[in-house]
Chain A
Amino acid sequence: MAEATYERVYVWQAPVRMYHWINACCIFVLVATGLVIGRPPALMSAGEASDSHWFGWVRFLHFSAAFLMSFAFLVRVYWMFAGNQYSRWDAFIPRNWTRLKTQWREMVNVLRIDILQLEKEPIDYVGHNGLAAFSYFGIFLATIFQIITGAALYAPMSTFWLPGLFSWVPPLMGGEAIVRMWHHAFTWIFILFTMIHVYLSIFHDMTEGRGEISSIVNGVRFVERK
């Protein structure tokens, strides 16, 4: 790579970074507790029920993290309309036909250059590249799905009106057993997403040296000065 000068660009505003980390923690807790709830390990099988409440606590953690994640998500949705150009809704959803075509070209480019590495010279995106934006849109949808199905499953054990708003979901999906199955299946989307997401962040950081990893802490990326 030839000599180049870089400038610091403030890309990820504070609410975006905070959402990212709150979300990351919540996903970690929710996946871990969710898998335990789906298939509890055989712990302390010799005890008496009155001695222990560990499974109750696992579920409590799951529900707490779920509420935190849901409200953080609502704030993030608000920020999609209040934030800068990198965090706005149209950074994820193409707002018109031209943007859709641009995003499509970007996605093809990312596939060619970053994934298949047919060309060596990296492409420089200030915010998300087209493929990343698309996958985040997907994960937003998966988050909405998990919030709705989770609230629907939580509603019968709660007197809180908020999850009760989603009690129409089980009859629609064909019973709570089905909702449970899909809620569980979608867990894997988050697991796979996290694997790929973390790997690609490290990949970009190492091959491009534009502060990919540190940008989600301090919000700043390095962009080549034209």
Chain B
Amino acid sequence: MSERLTIWEQARTLGHSRRDFLQFCAWLAAAAGIEASQVGQVVQALETKPRIPVVWFHFQECTCCSESFIRSSHPIVSDIILDKISLDYTETLQAAAGHAAEAALHETMKKYHGEYLMLVEGSVPTGADGAYCCIAGRTALDTVKEAAEGAKAIVAWGSCASNGCIQAASPNPTGATPVHEIITNKPVIKVPGCPPIGEVMAATIVHLLTFDTIPQLDRVGRPMAFYSRRVHDTCYRRPNYDAGLFVESWDDENARKGFCLYKMGCRGPVTYNACGVTKWNGGVSFPIQSGHGCIGCSEENFWDNGPFYNHLTNLPGFSIETTADKIGVAAGVVTAAGLVGHAVLTSIRKRDVINETKK
């Protein structure tokens, strides 16, 4: 492993001008939600701090987080972030393979003990002693514990690492477990979503890179800058909700007009994410803008809180498509029948009492 360059030094060797570098710093600051007056801090950090060594693990996942990350809109992000952090290990993108890759991983973990950033994509299966996910002959469970031991910070990429995601859906056959339930002695920054927004991922790394501190997290460990508001509250269709203008079916006039998808089961009102603001694919669109409701992919248990196209989720313990309303109406009918029956019984059994009272 060569001597660790700062990001500025690295940029210079790649032929970037000072102007490019400053522009990049300003852009990073904006992406990470840092205010303009603090851009100087970002510049200073990138000039003076050596590149953070990063190990990026892939366990039970589909790699959509990586795909999202490398597509983060500003080309410079994927470029620079991948260049600027010292990505020493990542199964998907690394050039090395086999023993060479494993050697790189172990060298980083040894050499930069306590300094490296650990990024985890995918959940960790705990069933059958972790046998459902093995890399280089070792279980994910082993690897994650070993790597976490010397990590400076841990980032859980995506809903798999944050919440378990679809492989944790009932009955969770492999015992898929989110990282924070395995590593309990270190803060885990959760960046949920299936996948998370590329810019959000990049900005989270930028924050760690720049300030050397964990960004402000909410109650469940997500960066406040991106997960403090509901998709519903930042949705451009929100005025239709307040006006009671809803899409009634997928092919109606209201759908064409772009009314609110609340009645089509949109999970925007219960989902915390930046989709309405940052959007996807370089700000082109996001699910609701494309006419489909949010499925709440960044929320815990979204995979079990179906059906996606009903506003109310099913009542647990009852069959599919049984909402609280159906059970409520049935109970109401039974109750009404009971009351009528009782009234009839009363009018027969207590006729004399009622008549006597009337005198």
Assess the B343–A199 pair: CB atoms within 8 A.
yes
B253 contact set on A, CB distance < 8 A:
45
Q: Once the chains are docked, how many angstroms separate the CA of A163 from the CA of B17?
A: 52
Q: Once the chains are docked, how many angstroms separate the CA of A126 from the CA of B219?
A: 50
Closest residue on chain A to residue B296 by CB atoms = A177
Closest residue on chain A to residue B263 by CB atoms = A40
Closest residue on chain B to residue A115 by CB atoms = B342
B35 at the interface (CB under 8 A from A): no
Assess the B301–A174 pair: CB atoms within 8 A.
yes
A195 at the interface (CB under 8 A from B): yes
Other-chain contact of A207, B263, B327, B346 (Cβ < 8 Å): B346
User: Majority SS of interface residues in chain A?
Assistant: helix
B11 at the interface (CB under 8 A from A): no
Given contacts A175-B305, A199-B343, contact A52 B243 (CB under 8 A): yes
Q: Per-position contact with A for B337-349: 1 when CB-CB < 8 Å, else 0?
A: 0010011011001
A15-23, A82-90, A95-103, A180-188: which lies at the B interface?
Answer: A180-188
Least CB distance from B355 to A in Å reads 10
Q: Once the chains are docked, how many angstroms separate the CA of A175 from the CA of B219?
A: 12
Least CB distance from B358 to A in Å reads 9
A74 at the interface (CB under 8 A from B): no
Assess the A47–B325 pair: CB atoms within 8 A.
no
Assess the A45–B301 pair: CB atoms within 8 A.
no
Q: Per-position contact with A for B307-332: 1 when CB-CB < 8 Å, else 0?
A: 00001111100000000110110011
B357 at the interface (CB under 8 A from A): yes
- Most chain A CB within a 10 A radius of its CB, from B246, B324, B325, B354: B324
Other-chain contact of B242, A56, A185, A199 (Cβ < 8 Å): A56
Q: Once the chains are docked, how many angstroms separate the CA of A178 from the CA of B343?
A: 38
A208 contact set on B, CB distance < 8 A:
353, 357
Given contacts A117-B346, A168-B219, contact A177 B299 (CB under 8 A): yes
A39 at the interface (CB under 8 A from B): yes
Give chain A interface residues in 37-51, CB to chain B under 8 Å: 38-40, 42-45, 47-51
Assess the B245–A52 pair: CB atoms within 8 A.
yes
Assess the A185–B335 pair: CB atoms within 8 A.
no
Assess the A55–B242 pair: CB atoms within 8 A.
yes
B254 contact set on A, CB distance < 8 A:
45
Q: Once the chains are docked, how many angstroms separate the CA of A51 from the CA of B271?
A: 28
Q: Once the chains are docked, how many angstroms separate the CA of A44 from the CA of B240?
A: 11
- Most chain B CB within a 10 A radius of its CB, from A43, A171, A177, A180: A177
A181 contact set on B, CB distance < 8 A:
305, 312-315, 324
Assess the A192–B331 pair: CB atoms within 8 A.
yes
Given contacts A120-B353, A156-B230, contact A54 B244 (CB under 8 A): yes
Given contacts A1-B353, A203-B342, A207-B346, contact A175 B301 (CB under 8 A): yes
Assess the A184–B324 pair: CB atoms within 8 A.
yes
Other-chain contact of A40, B244, B299, B336 (Cβ < 8 Å): B244
A184 contact set on B, CB distance < 8 A:
312, 324-325
B91 at the interface (CB under 8 A from A): no
Closest residue on chain A to residue B351 by CB atoms = A207
B239 at the interface (CB under 8 A from A): yes
A167 at the interface (CB under 8 A from B): yes
Assess the B244–A191 pair: CB atoms within 8 A.
no
Q: Per-position contact with B for A11-29: 1 when CB-CB < 8 Å, else 0?
A: 0000000000000000000
Other-chain contact of B339, A48, A174, A196, A209 (Cβ < 8 Å): A196
A115 contact set on B, CB distance < 8 A:
342
Assess the A45–B245 pair: CB atoms within 8 A.
yes
B270 at the interface (CB under 8 A from A): yes
Assess the A175–B270 pair: CB atoms within 8 A.
yes
Given contacts A52-B245, A54-B243, A184-B324, contact A195 B335 (CB under 8 A): yes
- Most chain A CB within a 10 A radius of its CB, from B270, B331, B345: B270
Q: Once the chains are docked, how many angstroms separate the CA of A115 from the CA of B341?
A: 10
B243 contact set on A, CB distance < 8 A:
44, 47-56
Assess the A187–B244 pair: CB atoms within 8 A.
no
Other-chain contact of B244, A44, A122, A168, A171 (Cβ < 8 Å): A44
A206 at the interface (CB under 8 A from B): yes
B270 contact set on A, CB distance < 8 A:
175-177, 180
Q: Once the chains are docked, how many angstroms separate the CA of A50 from the CA of B327?
A: 37
* Interface residues, chain A, with chain B CB atoms under 8 Å away: 1, 38-40, 42-45, 47-56, 58, 115, 117, 120, 122, 156-157, 167-168, 171, 174-178, 180-181, 184-185, 187-188, 191-192, 195-196, 199, 203, 206-209
What are 12 residue pairs bridging A and B, where the CB atoms are less than 8 Å apart in the complex? A47-B245, A120-B350, A157-B233, A167-B219, A171-B300, A175-B296, A181-B313, A188-B328, A191-B332, A192-B331, A196-B335, A203-B343
What 18 new A-B contacts, CB under 8 Å, besides A45-B259, A117-B345, A195-B335?
Answer: A40-B262, A42-B246, A44-B244, A45-B248, A51-B243, A54-B243, A54-B244, A115-B342, A175-B270, A175-B299, A180-B269, A181-B305, A191-B332, A192-B335, A199-B339, A203-B346, A207-B353, A208-B353
